[in-house]
Amino acid sequence: MRLLVPTDGSPHALVAARLAALLAGDDGALALLYVAQDRALAALAGLDAAAALVGGAKGDLAARRSMENEQAGAALLALTRESLPSRRDGMPRRVETLYDTGHAGERVLAHLVRPEHDAAVVGSRGHGLLVRALLGSVSDEVLRHAAKPVVIARRDVVRTILVPSDGSPSAVRAAATAGELARRLDARVVLLHAAEFPVETYRHERPEVETAFREQAARTLEGARSAVDLPADRISERFVFHDAPHAILAEVDRSGEDLVVMGRRGRSPVPRGPMGSVALRVAADAAASVMIEP
């Protein structure tokens, strides 16, 4: 895998870099990206232009500030690179560093669309002041708008992978991705299907409706199991009557899976924008790392 890893030097970003190294494997590649967000540069450029008009000489305030930003970025990129595992422990064969300026979320998305990047791995919170729930504002923006897989990193180990499945195409792709990761990382996979039982609607027909739900769950889990394509002793299954976000979060809290791999959109016919509400809730609130498959 070729992974883009935005970094600001925060502890969360360093966890993301170490998880990315693990996911990429020793035959993969990492691109560590630092984006300088400096609103002062525009003002300094204006002062430089004014100085040039008045004094007839080109100012250099913006140039000096830009150089300072580049130096700070280089130091943080070096710190992030040093936090990666050693070659002996499976560090990716290729690790490059990238420097950019502008709005961080927009620049990360612009880099992610390039063909040399397969997915992005971002920390759950950076140094920014704007924080949405447990996600940093940059992570939230990338997660909502990326057309490629995005991983929200909270742990830098992957021993067990939880795969929620509702039978949607996105969920099937997520199951296949989870299987690939599990084979490479020697991890176990837990398949989860949740069904929200409409008790008030089917109070009198409950036995029949519950049977129908269980039959549907069996078909959905069978499809997910086929997509994961692992030996039977490395896969377990769960079926619960609960709404999907609560079921997924409760499973992580109960069993401690390290990584959740799930689809971006489920089967709901209700338009909810580019990001499904279940995926967004899990990405924001799960104690595990979360990979969202488009």
Highest mean pLDDT among 69-73, 147-151, 210-214: 147-151
Q: Report yes or no on whether pTM surpasses 0.85.
A: no
On average, the pLDDT of the chain sits at 83
Residue 175 above 50 pLDDT? yes
> Distances from the Cα of 128 to the Cαs of 4, 34, 71, 113, 281, in angstroms?
19, 14, 20, 24, 21
pLDDT per residue over 145-174, tens digit each? 999 999 999 999 999 999 999 999 999 999
**Which domains can be identified in the chain, with CATH numbers?**
2-40+66-153 (3.40.50.620), 160-293 (3.40.50.620)
Give the model's pLDDT for residue 208. 81
Residue range 196-216: mean pLDDT, rounded: 74
- 112-136 pLDDT, tens digit each: 999 999 999 999 864 443 333 345 6
> Is residue 48 over pLDDT 80?
no
Q: Say what percent of the chain tops pLDDT 70.
A: 78
Higher pLDDT, 252 or 38: 252
- Average pLDDT estimate for 256-281: 74
Residue 133 has a pLDDT of 39
Pick from 133-142, 176-185, 259-268 the range whose average pLDDT is largest. Answer: 176-185
Query: Given this model, what pLDDT does residue 64 score?
Result: 67
Q: How confident is the model at residue 38 (pLDDT cuts 50, 70, 90)?
A: low
| 11-36 pLDDT, tens digit each | 899 999 999 999 998 889 999 999 98
Pairing verdict, β 131-132 and 119-123? unpaired
- Phi-psi label, residue 121: left if phi above 0, alpha if psi -120 to 50, beta otherwise: beta
Helix axes 277-285, 137-145, angle to 10 degrees: 150
pLDDT at 203 over 90: no
The confidence score (pLDDT) of residue 53 equals 47
Residue 116 makes CB contacts below 8 A (sequence gap 6+) with 2, 29, 31
Return the sign of the alpha-carbon dihedral for residues 170, 176, 178, 180: negative
pLDDT of residue 271: 43
